Amino acid sequence: VQLQASGGGLVQPGGSLRLSCVASGFTLDYSGMGWWRQAPGGERERVSCISIGYSDVRTNYADSVKGRFTISRDNAKNTVDLRMNRLQPEDTAVYYCAASGAGPSTRSLSYDYWGQGTLVTVSS
């Protein structure tokens, strides 16, 4: 079971990045995927989550990223993307994608699989 995250990098404040997560090797059904982040010295926090496999798309966002970040999915390709606009220095963190068997849960304990993380640095 692997989750491969990519797309991180250095960007100036106000800039944009697109993170992508590819899932492979799952032997059980999972119903949600999410992006989480951990800033230096901080705790892991939820960024955004999305349902997988449902006919309707359910998403949620942390208040700090609403209106700036957009999560999307491609069920056929097993990918989940996070489009990040108007990035700010406080968005600097390692971003992790994770898979949940409990839908787009806002609880980290619901996520059974985690990727290796991709570093996003917002700085001038």
pLDDT of residue 68: 98
- Tens-digit pLDDT profile for residues 67-108: 999 999 988 888 999 999 999 999 999 999 999 988 899 999
Residue type, position 12, single letter: Q
- Tens-digit pLDDT profile for residues 5-56: 999 999 999 999 999 999 888 755 678 999 999 999 999 999 999 988 767 8
* Cα–Cα distance, 22 to 118 (Å, whole number): 13
The residues facing 88 across adjacent strands are none
Is residue 58 within 8 Å of residue 104, measured between CB atoms?
yes
pLDDT of residue 102: 86
Residues in the chain: 124
Residue type, position 37, single letter: R
* Residue that has been written with the tokens 């990519």 in this structure: 6
Taking CA atoms, 13 is separated from 45, 71, 90, 100, 102, in Å, by 21, 20, 10, 32, 35
Handedness of CA 80, 96, 47, 33 (dihedral sign): positive
pLDDT of residue 27: 52
CA 80 to chain centre: 8
Among residues 68, 84, 74, 67, which one has the least CA distance to residue 50? 74
Specify the pairing of strand 17-24 against strand 118-122. Answer: unpaired
pLDDT of residue 56: 81
DSSP tally for the chain: helices H, then strands E: 0, 11
